[in-house]
Amino acid sequence: MSTHSNFISQMLKIPKNLKKKREITLTPKDLKNFEKDVIKFYENKLIRSPIHLSGNNEKQLIKIFSLISPEDYVFSNWRSHYHALLHGIPKEQILSMIFSGKSMSISSKRHNFYASSIVGGCIPISLGTSLAIKRKKSKRQVWCFIGDMSFETGAFHEAYKYSRNHSLNLNFVIEDNGLSTNTPTKATWIKQSTIPKDVIYYKYKRIYPHHGIGKWILF
């Protein structure tokens, strides 16, 4: 294993009970190129609404989505482009939603995918979905992607405890870029909570602004 691969594995904490389920055909380059295309469309004023770009976490997400079955439910946040691509939503469909102003709320009933622009907004929805799955005696899993800011909210801790108390198939993924929007998370929350051992966790450095492309586009 290369030094870079070792670094990635150290930055990604996956519970031992989660096993690989499929091969991901998308490469880090594919993901990066998608966002580069979005940037070009935005610069050319073809996208006339806020966008939230993903980047610098391609390898971690490819490894995580190899654990996720296409039949599983995935709940995401406003930075959801990579999540949507990796869960199987066609590139053209995602771009269509972005063009129509839904960069922060990409969803597809067919692909069991839903994203919310509200901080922690998907946490209670993912909890309710996992409870419904249990009542139907289904073996499908639910995956909820949140940032380090949402992780500190009461919504996460209440949902986490409820899901564990009732043995629900709810998997949390914490994507820690060290920022609560644009404020360092450590400065926002002073003392950060302990990451539960059965939660997927990784750290990465954001390479794009919270929203936009870092340039002022006059429409």
Question: Percentage of the chain surpassing pLDDT 70?
Answer: 95
Which phi and psi (to 5°) does residue 24 adopt? -95, 125
Q: Output the CA–CA distances (angstroms, integers) from residue 211 to 72, 74, 112, in the order listed.
A: 28, 22, 25
**Best CA proximity match to 64, nearest among 15, 135, 137:** 15
Residue 112, token pair as written in the block: 């069991």
Whether pLDDT at 7 is above 50: no
Whether pLDDT at 8 is above 70: no
What is the per-residue pLDDT across 47-68, written as a single tens digit (0 to 9) for each? 999 999 999 999 999 999 999 9
Residue-averaged pLDDT of the chain = 92
Whether pLDDT at 131 is above 80: yes
How far, in Å, CA of 133 to CA of 209, rounded? 37
What is the per-residue pLDDT across 200-217, written as a single tens digit (0 to 9) for each? 999 999 999 999 999 888
Whether pLDDT at 170 is above 80: yes
The pLDDT confidence band at residue 181, using thresholds 50, 70 and 90, is confident
What is the per-residue pLDDT across 20-38, written as a single tens digit (0 to 9) for each? 999 999 999 999 999 999 9
**Length, in residues, of the chain:** 219
Q: Torsion angle, CA of 90/124/160/82, rounded to 10 degrees?
A: 20
